[in-house]
Amino acid sequence: MKSGIHPNPLKSPFNPLNGIYKRFPLFKSMIRPPKKVNLLGGDAPLTSEKSEKDDLVPYWYPDITVNLVNFDSNLEISSIPSFTRRFIYADRIRKQYYPIIYFNELWELKRKRIPILDEEFHEMPLKISFSTTSLLFFRLMTYFDFAIKQQESVYGEHNEFESIKKMFIETSPWLIVLTFFISCLHVLFDFLAFKNDVQFWRKKKDISGLSVRGILINSLFQFVVFFYLLDSETSWIVLASVGIGALIEFWKITRVLEVKWSKMKFVPFLYAPSFHDRVSYAKSLTREYDITAVKYLAASAIPLLIGYSFWSLKYRVHKSWYSWILRSLVGFVYTFGFISMTPQLFINYKLKSVAHMPWKAFTYKALNTFIDDFFAFVIKMPWLHRIACFRDGKGSF
């Protein structure tokens, strides 16, 4: 309101042309957060019987940012894009525009919204921040906000936007620059590690001295970790790195074993793969050492996995049975992941040699573990994966 004008229309002096009124909804309907329950208890996990409408619940905005655009020069409305123009109120008769008040949602983090899951009254926190901004910054904010909402309307809400916003809001500028530099190194070392690993196994004809069963165990571990990160909505940087690594581990199986395709007995039009030891491996001492190592490894690891799974089922909460299976497996992998190296270490000890190992790929992977330690602080990932990053870093050291 202009100075001297009362904001209450029932009191004098009041003039609606000398003020501007804006409102902002404090609630927004979003998908209900996943409910975690004890699967052995009386409560049952959420099922797919509920419709999408029933799964929408109101969320409270606890933090609102209001910007007053500091601009008092002539403004050519027709030259302004539509996604910015909708925030400007102009009086075409008097050829004037009202002060531009903008509710800035661009830097609002969805994870800070509070779901209202019952009908009871709650005292909700509310913080209103007011500041001035330039016309250039205002136009940039409306453009980015429009672009993000367009993407979300087509592809759905992306957690990557949230991760980027969180990094800019909660991280100092020098750390953002360092993160960009470290990200480049991470991609470079990942590429070099994958490149040298593929080259080594593509050229490898004789697999004597290499643990076939260790590769099978490691490929299983990699896929368990990948699906866990996918279920936890991890950053695509971490997900892409783990996913490519899992595909390479699966490809290695075709290099260390002979794969034959044959028709299935009960479904003749489908083919199923069968795996056989290569001749160079079957006739070597490596196979004997490999079988011995895995036999003792399974005798100690399987009871631990079963015990941890039942403990998790009884004492922890989960979203579903799938979540319980996945988290039990990944908890075992993160805790005892080093056991996948045991067959290869046993073979190296028996052969008294390590010349057959892909040392270039190991070197780049070791360098990347130290970068992962830094990534664990700034990139969105589950806590179990963060701890595993520090474990791998210490192991490489």
234: closest CA among 34, 385, 36, 387?
385
249 & 314 share domain:
yes
Q: Sorting pLDDT into bands at 50, 70 and 90, what band is 53?
A: very low
Residue 36 located in a structural domain:
yes
Q: Dump pLDDT digits (tens) for 364-395.
A: 777 777 776 666 666 666 666 666 665 554 44
Q: How many CB atoms are located within 10 Å of the residue 114 CB? A: 13
Using the predicted structure, report yes or no on whether residue 231 has a pLDDT greater than 50. yes
Q: To 10 degrees, the CA torsion angle through 322, 324, 329, 331?
A: 140
Q: What is the mean pLDDT of the chain?
A: 78
Backbone dihedral angles phi then psi of residue 204, each to the nearest 5 degrees: -75, 120
Average pLDDT over residues 230-251: 82
Q: Dump pLDDT digits (tens) for 175-209.
A: 778 777 877 887 888 888 888 888 888 887 777 78
Query: What's the predicted TM-score (pTM) here?
Result: 0.66
Mark which of 94, 121, 143 sits at the end of a domain: 143
239 & 120 share domain:
no
Q: List the single range of 6-10, 25-29, 90-94, 155-159 with lowest mean pLDDT.
A: 155-159
Residue 3 located in a structural domain:
no
Residue 115 located in a structural domain:
yes
Mark which of 94, 125, 143 sits at the end of a domain: 143
For residues 224 and 329, the answer to whether their CB atoms sit within 8 Å is yes
50 & 91 share domain:
yes
246 & 388 share domain:
yes
Supply the range of the domain harboring residue 60. 16-143
Mark which of 143, 160, 188 sits at the end of a domain: 143
For residues 138 and 84, the answer to whether their CB atoms sit within 8 Å is yes
Residue 350 located in a structural domain:
yes
- Helix (H) / strand (E) element for 97: namely strand 96-97
237 vs 304 pLDDT, higher one: 304
106 & 235 share domain:
no
Using the predicted structure, report yes or no on whether residue 249 has a pLDDT greater than 80. yes
179 & 111 share domain:
no
Q: Sorting pLDDT into bands at 50, 70 and 90, what band is 52?
A: very low
Residue 56 located in a structural domain:
yes
Residue 154 located in a structural domain:
no
264 & 366 share domain:
yes
Residue 150 located in a structural domain:
no
Residue 384 located in a structural domain:
yes
Strand partners, 102: 67
77 & 207 share domain:
no
Q: What contacts 253, CB < 8 A, 6 or more positions away?
A: 215, 216, 219, 259, 275
Q: List the single range of 68-82, 97-111, 126-140, 354-368 with lowest mean pLDDT.
A: 354-368
Q: Of 5-19, 228-242, 302-316, which one has max mean pLDDT?
A: 302-316
70 & 193 share domain:
no
- Helix (H) / strand (E) element for 377: namely helix 359-378
Q: Dump pLDDT digits (tens) for 269-310.
A: 777 777 788 777 777 788 888 888 888 888 888 888 898 888
Specify the number of domains making up the chain.
Answer: 2
299 & 365 share domain:
yes
